[in-house]
Amino acid sequence: MQQKIIILDFGSQTTQLIGRRVRELDTFCEILPYNKFPKDDPSVIGVILSGSPYSVHDPEAFRVDLSQFVGKVPVLGICYGAQFISHTLGGKVEKADSREYGRAHLETVDMQNPLFHGFEPHSQVWMSHGDTITAIPADCEVIASTADVKYAAYASTKHPIWAVQFHPEVFHTIQGSLLLKNFVVDICGSTQSWSAASFVDTTVAELKQQLGDDKVILGLSGGVDSSVAAVLLHRAIGNRLTCIFVDHGMLRKNEFRDVMHDYECLGLNVIGVDASAKFFADLAGVTDPEQKRKIIGRDFVEVFNAEAKKIEGAKWLAQGTIYPDRIESLNITGKVIKSHHNVGGLPKEMHLSLCEPLKWLFKDEVRRVGRQLGMPEHLITRHPFPGPGLAVRILGDITPEKVQILQDADDIYIRGLRNYKVCLSGEEARRVLAAGIPATMTDGEIEVSLYDQVWQAGTVLLSTVRSVGVMGDERTYEHPVALRAVTSTDAMTADWAHLPYDFLAKVSNEIINKVKGVNRVCYDISSKPPSTIEWE
């Protein structure tokens, strides 16, 4: 029986980060809405309560019945989770005199408490709350304080309950990973048996049992998720898997040809469909980003459905849906920022059952599984690419001419990122090696490409804007493009990548000189939040 940690989501932006940190400890975890705790599940070895945008005093605040798990398995409350536990069990939570946000240092820490084993004095933590705990329940004791927060952490003397008002999951809490390890491994007793190898073996066996002799259809996108799903399914059922790769005309330059070649080299049974004319016709004159997504999603289903009907006897539709797709789709706040192309797109008239072999994995786990399956590195390290493709990287209406301009500019940018090498050492080098990124070792340093250093990069065509320029002593009036590159762990939050100036200068010069229709290059230095990674 596979052990698991349950993370109850109260709506925090960093709930997925908690999940990522737990998975990094080779421990399976499941993120569930605050009110969906699984009853009578013997595989649950611990529970973590996340932060929340609400105060415990808000009438609409999310609440959970603690008796479902308190006293049965160890519990860790984080931020709102810590305040909710205190408020519910007899402590007191009040509005802070000023919002407690940003870096802080633990002034006192009970390092004998198992939650803080191995901590260093004055360890840096990250606070982010408007309320604060002013009294803890009678059977609890304070185990850490900062200069301004007396109850930075507390523990129960009666039940296995620990609570912290800071966020151990974020990078700025220096020993946050150690705290979570202390809880997950030492307190909850995780055997740390969740790995890429165990996932492949278990999933292949489960797919064989689930699918039997049935035929399966998979929609390929060229990205790492659907590609890994295809190879995993191929290992389980061989040529009973048929893959369909639809070209909507808004892929990167030469991508349809190159990706089809890669899939054939992997031995996959792939049907390639060029439907670009249909997509361009249906997108003509459309400028609203959400409308673009809906048209592309609708047309994709129509094209895919038409091809799928040609495959006799198919009973399953496979998708490369990963865990963040599902968590975002089930956002407990109910607010949609933009529609997701991977979830809920199964047409009822296809009468196919859904198979999602990667539905429990985060993106970097998908890449580790790809390596375990022996896939080529250039497929595994491909940056995320939006389902609607370049349509959401062109501001304004879509035309084949605009797509070609963007393809040419983007090709220069991406090739430049792949060719530019940087040397890393210390913590940066350790982070890159831990992520499995290909690197060359030289005198204690590692050399990697800029492409492998960033999470996602792309070019945006501002086709609704024209700017004045001068080329060959003549006035030009053409479009600007914006280059975008971000660093991230799971795309829930992202920071703009600090690319070298000489690289940006070289790429800018090459784009302006070689791409007709572009006379200005900008670099996007906004982070997520408040911006999204894609412009549309």
Q: From 139, 147, 148, 34, select the one nearest 80 (Cα to Cα).
A: 34
Cα separation of 293 and 33, whole Å? 27
Residues 6+ apart with CB under 8 A from 60: 54
79 has catalytic annotation: yes
Q: Is 284 left (phi over 0), alpha (psi -120 to 50) or beta?
A: beta
Cα separation of 333 and 12, whole Å? 10
378 has catalytic annotation: no
167 has catalytic annotation: yes
Q: From 527, 526, 450, 534, select the one nearest 494 (Cα to Cα).
A: 527
CB-CB contact of 35 with 11 (8 Å): no
Q: Residue 78's CB: how many other CB atoms inside 10 A?
A: 29
The full DSSP string for 147-170 is SS-S-SEEEESSSSEEEESB-TTS
Task: Give a three-class secondary structure readout of 364-397.
Answer: HHHHHHHHHCCCCHHHHCCCCCCCCHHHHHECCC
Alpha-carbon distances, residue 407 vs 255, 366, 397, 481, 514 (angstroms)? 10, 27, 16, 11, 12
Task: Give a three-class secondary structure readout of 316-371.
Answer: EEECCCCHHHHHHHCCCCCCCCCCCCCCCCCCHHHCCEEECCCCCCCHHHHHHHHH
Catalytic, out of 79, 140, 188, 355: 79
Residues 6+ apart with CB under 8 A from 524: 460, 482, 483, 484, 496, 531
Q: Which residue has 């999940």 as its token pair?
A: 19
Structure tokens at 108: 């006192």
Residues 6+ apart with CB under 8 A from 54: 10, 11, 60, 61, 62, 80
Catalytic, out of 29, 30, 140, 169: 169
Q: Encode 96-105: b = buried (16+ Cβ within 10 Å), e = exposed.
A: beeebeeebe
Cα separation of 323 and 451, whole Å? 24
Catalytic, out of 30, 100, 129, 167: 167
Q: What are phi and psi of 98, to 5 degrees?
A: -145, 150
Q: From 136, 126, 51, 124, select the one nearest 94 (Cα to Cα).
A: 136
Cα separation of 164 and 178, whole Å? 14
CB-CB contact of 143 with 110 (8 Å): yes
Q: Residue length, the chain?
A: 536
Alpha-carbon distances, residue 143 vs 88, 241, 359 (angstroms)? 19, 55, 38
Catalytic residues: 79, 167, 169
